[in-house]
Amino acid sequence: MRKAPKRPVANTIPALPDLEVDALDTTERVVQYCIRHNLIDGVEVDIERLIELNPNLTLRRKPLADGIDAYIRETSPSRYEIGVNSNHSRTRQKFSMAHEFAHYQLHRDNLDGLELGERILHRSDERNHLEYQANAFAAALLMPEDIFRTEVRRTQGDISALAERFGVSQLALRYRAKTLGLRGHGV
């Protein structure tokens, strides 16, 4: 009997060595980590669990001052707290968590340069490079490019369906589509 030919696995994300949760400095590494640790259910990333798996991070949901989505602060050497506004929708909280997680991964040695508490993804003319990086990282983490493009084709660019599928707001979804240069069908 002939063996069936080996077919490539549907996962188009390149294999990376197993990484520790605090060494995830690129979205590709974070997505690979999420895949290996079953933190992606279909297409939705469990950002809350990803944060919980990092022993140096603590996640707090609490009411924050009006206009503040979230913050990250160092609570002791090499220990950080991510605070998310509990008054916001689940999708907004999710993006805020991913944004602050991005600050941890990319900017933890530079947190003094960030305001404690911020509005995320709502600036019309983002000029702060660190905030732009955190937004881009968060969007790429929550909506990995290959999966995102596949879902856009599958849903024919239906914004509502895509936002629900990824568990993000329509604003976050449009931001990701724009960064990937996608146009049409509302995206």
Q: Give, in degrees to the nearest 5, the angle at Cα 182 between 177 and 187.
A: 60
Report how far Cα 31 is from the mean position of its chain's Cα atoms.
Answer: 9
Output the pLDDT for position 4. 39
Determine the Cα–Cα distance for residues 129 and 84; give it in Å rounded to an integer: 22
Determine the Cα–Cα distance for residues 68 and 140; give it in Å rounded to an integer: 22
Average pLDDT of span 98-123: 79
Average pLDDT of span 52-72: 93
Decide if pLDDT at 9 tops 70. Answer: no
Output the pLDDT for position 143. 97
Whether 106 and 134 have beta carbons less than 8 Å apart is answered as yes
Average pLDDT of span 81-91: 96
Domain boundaries, the chain: 23-179
Average the pLDDT over each of 99-113, 121-135, 156-170 and give the range with the smallest value: 121-135
Q: pLDDT of 158-168, one tens digit each? A: 999 999 999 99
Average pLDDT of span 47-65: 95
Decide if pLDDT at 7 tops 50. Answer: no
Confidence of residue 131 (pLDDT cuts 50, 70, 90): confident
Q: Is the pTM of this model over 0.75?
A: yes
Decide if pLDDT at 10 tops 70. Answer: no
